[in-house]
Structure 1
Amino acid sequence: MSVLLSFGHGYSARALTPLLLARGWTVIGTTRSAQKAAALRGEGVEPVIFGDALPFDRVTHVLSSAGPDADGDPVLRAYGDALRPHLGRMAWVGYLSTTGVYGDHGGAWVDEATPPAPSTRRGRWREAAEAAWAELGGPLHVFRLAGIYGPGRGPFAKVRAGTARRIVKPGQVFSRIHVDDIAQVLLASIDRPDPGAVYNVCDDDPAPPQDVIGHAAKLLGLPPPPEVAFETAEMTPMARSFYAESKRVRNDRIKRDLGVRLRYPDYRVGLADLLRRERGD
């Protein structure tokens, strides 16, 4: 019996869950609220409130989606000592990181061989968390995720409401990834474990953010939202920090080493799919 223990069982892990349940797996997911625990139970997941005891003796695979903070990785703080003795017999451990660890490259291409050089506080926290998981030991696989979108996380609601803006910063590009493609990458890695591997998880088409918003409006048959210069745009500090880094992220390794064929190789295909789902097509 294969059992996945999923720490911080959120958006990406929930996309992976049905693929594992279809294979007869057990999925145990941690959450911080009883309300979320009830929702996970309805999805076939065995919920555990974060901080409670966990059945490590049952677990064959581990996935951590929990983000770090100024004090380090919350999973390792709470469970590192309890988890460590079990890692030697585990088949696979996955840690979801971000492409933010690469820092700013002025729009140039980066791949897994590019040394991390985070320029934001969150990026530095992620780099430290990757190192802490590696130090813990076990068959670790690190997945550096680009900007995630998917059902419930698309731009259409803001475009329809007239609150979307096309924020323009010359030369700015972001890489993205559809949540369903994250799930298939994780499943492919579980099927082909390679302890110590690092994978960039992104689509084939890094693009300026204003192009994505403009295309969403086009799909809806609406005029493009107004352009706003980055320098004068009203943004939260967190939103503004995303614009501090510009890079194009290569995804060759997930294709070559894991045999992944992206379902949504660019945002145009991904947005069209989201709109079809919203409309029930």
Structure 2
Amino acid sequence: MARILVVGTGDIGGHLAGQMAAEGHEVFGVRRSDKPVAEGVTVISADVADPETLTGLPDNVDILVYSVAAPVFSKEGYHNYYVKGLKNVLKSLKGQNVKHAFFVSSSSVYHQMDAEWVDETSETQPSSFAGKEMLAAEDALLKSDIAGTVVRFTGIYGPGRTRMIEQARHGGYCDPEPAVWTNRIHRDDCVGVLHFLITKALSGDKLDNIYLATDDEPATLFDVLEWMKDRIGDVDPDKDVGEVSRRANRRCSNKRLRALGYDFRYTNYRDGYDVMLTEMGLI
């Protein structure tokens, strides 16, 4: 069994930590509060932006998973918690023989906005501060002394992440042309992907330095909203989704992750949202 350090134990990191602990691994979870994470997970209260709070990190860590969420949506917040925070953790682990480190990143690092297909080899020249800071954090890991892998998640949905459903319920409408392409991954598959990659690393399998984690089927915003409204039935009259012009418009490929052998629990938005709509009593 391995000693696993999960830095950031929110929705994804917390479920991952609990799953790894249930399998018998010795798991430590870093979070800003002292709130319990899951059975079998040792909580370490620390703030990654403050290196003085990181003195209690465990020794002999085999796997590091960095899955924080910046508490403030700002350039400074992103820099402090993604770039600076990751560097602080890596420095605190210096001298340990960490087998592999994983950084949870985002498809916001891509700049393509004209319905292009993107994958791990595509150019990344983001214009937003979020994309730039994520890319800087990726670079910090991949240039460190620890073998590292970046996992870029697309739009995450699942329990508690119901924004798209609420848009549909309130009549959200997007013109079918020009198409606005969207990409998503269910929370359970986010956890599944990380668990899958950790298992590969512990088995000594070679991993690529970047994986784009998204389901099999990019879909237009029009198709997603109209499908949801049809499934729900009782929705408000149509009204334009105001932020369409600010949405990313690209199609993300998961071929590298698929080729490695990961099987998605929810292969497309219909599979995942159907479960959510049922659980919410909307269908």
TM-score by length of 1: 0.83
Q: Name 1:91's counterpart in structure 2.
A: 99
Deviations 1:154-199 (A, max 9, x none): 2335555x3x623458332111001111112112111222355210
Amino acid at match of 1:166: Y
1:75 corresponds to 2:85: yes
Tell me if 1:213 matches 2:225.
yes
> 1:126 aligned to 2:134?
yes
Moved more, 71-80 or 246-255: 71-80
- Structure 2: distance between partners of 1:50 and 1:118: 30
Q: Give the paired residue count.
A: 263
- Alignment correspondent of 2:24: 24
Q: Which residue of 1 aligns with 2:173?
A: 166
Please say if residues 214 and 224 of structure 1, whose CA atoms lie closer than 8 Å, have aligned partners that are also in contact.
Answer: no
Give CA-to-partner distance per residue, 1:219-251, whole Å, 9 cap, x none: 2222465241x6xx2x5xxx964x1x3110110
Q: Name the counterpart of 2:263.
A: 261
Q: Which has the higher contact order (CA 8 A, sep 6+)?
A: 1
Unmatched 5+ residue regions in structure 1?
none
Structure 1 residue 54 corresponds to structure 2 residue 56: yes
Counterpart for residue 38 of structure 1: 35
Q: Which stretch shows the higher mean deviation, 50-59 or 4-13?
A: 50-59
Tell me the equivalent position of 2:154. Answer: 146
Structure 1 vs Structure 2: percent identity of aligned residues? 27
Point out where structure 2 has 5 or more consecutive residues left out of the alignment.
48-52, 71-76
CA drift of 1:50 comes to 1.9
TM-score, with structure 2 as normaliser: 0.82
Q: Quick one: distance in 2 between partners of 1:240 and 1:46?
A: 44
Residue 43 (structure 1) shift: 4.7
Alpha carbons 1:173, 1:247 under 8 Å: kept: yes
Amino acid at match of 1:21: A
Match in the other structure for 2:74: none
More helix per residue: 1
Taking the aligned partners of 1:9 and 1:240, their CA distance within structure 2 comes to 33
Quote the Cα distance in structure 1 between the aligned partners of 2:208 and 2:255.
Answer: 17
Q: Which moved more, 1:181-190 or 1:144-153?
A: 181-190
